[in-house]
Structure formats: C-alpha cells, structure tokens
C-alpha cells in the first residue's frame, strides 16, 4: 500500500513499515503509529491506472 514509514503521534519516532505494529514501543502506553504514505509512488501508480482505464485520455486534441 505504499506505506513509506510509521510515525509515532506522541514522540515522533518513525519505524519501518515492515515492523507492523499499531502502537509505539518506546513508552507505556505508547502513542498510536500513523502511517506515512509514499505519495510519489501513489501518484505514479494512479497515473498508470488512469491511463489504463482511459487509453485515449492523452490523445484527445
Ligand atoms: Zn512514541
């Protein structure tokens, strides 16, 4: 899903997305981890999807 990293809402630590966990391990209780998405990759893939769905899109005069 193009998650670039997970960031703790409390302390700001960031984690690799493959450490799939929901809360920060650094404190008790830990903060929720917020997913930060790779928006560039999402934009690239949605461009590709849009082109696939509308193959004539860029050919219109
Ligand atoms: Zn934290």
Secondary structure (H, E, C), 31-60? CEEEEEECHHHHHHHHHHHHHHHCCCHHHC
Q: Is residue 39 part of a domain?
A: yes
d(CA 53, CA 42): 16
Distance (Å, rounded) from C-alpha 51 to C-alpha 55?
A: 5
CA of 35 to the centre of ligand 1 (A): 13
Q: 20 alpha carbon to ligand 1 midpoint, in Å?
A: 14
Task: Summarize pLDDT for 10-45 with one digit per residue, the tens.
Answer: 999 998 887 567 889 886 788 999 988 888 888 888
Model-level pTM? 0.57
Tally of structural domains, the chain: 1
């219109």: which residue's tokens?
Answer: 60
Q: How far is the CA of 28 from the centre of ligand 1 (A)?
A: 9
Which domain range does residue 8 map to?
Answer: 3-53
In a domain, 59, yes or no: no
Q: Which residue has the higher pLDDT, 57 or 47?
A: 47
* pLDDT of res. 9: 93
Decide if 47 is inside a domain: yes
- Asked, for residue 16, whether it belongs to a domain, the answer is yes
CA–centroid distance, residue 41 to ligand 1 (Å): 26
pLDDT for residue 22: 82
38 CA → ligand 1 middle, Å:
21
């Amino acid at each position: 899903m193009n998650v670039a990293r997970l960031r703790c809402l409390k302390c700001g630590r960031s984690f690799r997305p493959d450490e799939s966990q929901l809360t920060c391990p650094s404190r008790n209780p830990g903060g929720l981890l917020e997913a930060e998405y790779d928006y560039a990759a999402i934009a690239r893939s949605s461009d590709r999807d849009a082109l696939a769905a509308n193959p004539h899109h860029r050919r219109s005069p």
